[in-house]
Amino acid sequence: AQTVTQSQPEMSVQEAETVTLSCTYDTSENNYYLFWYKQPPSRQMILVIRQEAYKQQNATENRFSVNFQKAAKSFSLKISDSQLGDTAMYFCAFTFMDSNYQLIWGAGTKLIIKP
Amino acid sequence: DSGVTQTPKHLITATGQRVTLRCSPRSGDLSVYWYQQSLDQGLQFLIQYYNGEERAKGNILERFSAQQFPDLHSELNLSSLELGDSALYFCASSLRGGANTGELFFGEGSRLTVL
């Protein structure tokens, strides 16, 4: 079965600190995409960062970067210089590069940035 | 703003009733996805439509149905509502229904409360 596990239900850090959210997944497929989505209190699901499994280079988007370890099936998100606006639920997800496109989601990590 | 519009934003109804949730995808997107998010849970995939046809089905109850119209908007119909159906229902869209960049664009969700 395809699964995504986020082992940290909740985390909190001080503003400006760096925080890493963990995600592991299980699949026998070789070609897939991995995502981190953010859901702030406004409820909107916002794409934070995307990684193609065939790329060895870790994706980065400004203060957000990932540590993708394909063999270990690990996909952690690092947020540098955290800001109050980063407070949100963060969901890890993946999907396969085939014709039946569905996202498989983790349960989420609640991240609180303290002033 | 993701470009995906969902109505209504909030809906309160009684058990046994029927409601319809509406979604307008981003301009040009052919695929629509429906997700259910119960309190403090991850997203559960319900159903996907691509260019008017059902493409994939997830954990959608028989009391629920959906369709995508020729103008590509979609409706999710929930009938014989139960207390456990209270949740946030998300619609998302993407350009194609198959292998692509993998990114979904989410609406703000419809919050359904069943009393």
A50 interface with B at CB cutoff 8 Å: yes
A102, B41: Cβ pair inside 8 Å? no
Flag whether residue B94 sits within 8 Å of chain A, measured between CB atoms.
yes
Task: Tell me what pLDDT residue B96 has.
Answer: 64
Whether pLDDT at A88 is above 70: yes
Give residue B103's pLDDT.
77
Query: Residue B2 and residue A105: Cβ atoms within 8 Å?
Result: no
Higher pLDDT, B87 or A43: B87
Predicted pLDDT of residue A61: 92
* Residue B97: per-residue pLDDT: 55
Mutate to test the interface with B, among A10, A32, A35, A43 (most CBs of B within 10 A): A43
B43 inside 8 A of chain A by CB: yes
- Measured between CA atoms, how close is B68 to chain A, in angstroms? 17
Burial of A72 per CB tally in 10 Å (0-12, 13-18, 19+): exposed
Q: Looking at residue B84, what is its pLDDT?
A: 94
Predicted confidence (pLDDT) per residue in A47-71, tens digit: 999 998 988 899 999 999 999 999 9
Record: contact B103-A99, CB cut-off 8 A: no
Q: Give the model confidence (pLDDT) of B20-60 as tens digits.
A: 999 999 998 888 999 999 876 778 889 999 899 998 888 89
Q: Which residues of B touch A99 (CB under 8 A)?
A: 97-99
Residues B59-114: tens digit of each pLDDT? 899 999 999 999 999 999 999 999 999 999 999 998 765 545 667 889 999 999 99
- DSSP structure class, residue A97: S
pLDDT for the residue numbered B100? 54
Specify the DSSP class assigned to residue B80: S
For chain B, what's the residue count?
Answer: 115
Residue B56 touches partner A, C-beta closer than 8 Å: yes
Q: List the single residue in A with minimal CA-CA distance to B56.
A: A100
**CB distance from A108 to chain B under 8 Å?**
yes
Q: Mean pLDDT: which of A77-86, A90-99, B46-55 is highest?
A: A77-86
Q: Exposure pattern of B62-97 as b/e (b: 16+ CB <10 Å)?
A: eebebebeeebebbbebeebeeebbbbbbbbbbeeb
Facing residue for A107 by CB, picked from B41, B92, B109: B41
- Identify the pLDDT of residue B99: 43
Nearest CA-CA partner of A107 in A19, A2, A7:
A7
Q: How far apart are CA B22 and CA A95, in angstroms?
A: 25
- Asked if pLDDT for residue A99 goes beyond 80, the answer is no
DSSP A14-65: ETT--EEE--EEE-S-S-EEEEEEEE-TT---EEEEEEETT--SPPEETTEE
* Contact (Cβ atoms closer than 8 angstroms) between residue A18 and residue A78: yes
Residue of B nearest to A48 (CA): B103
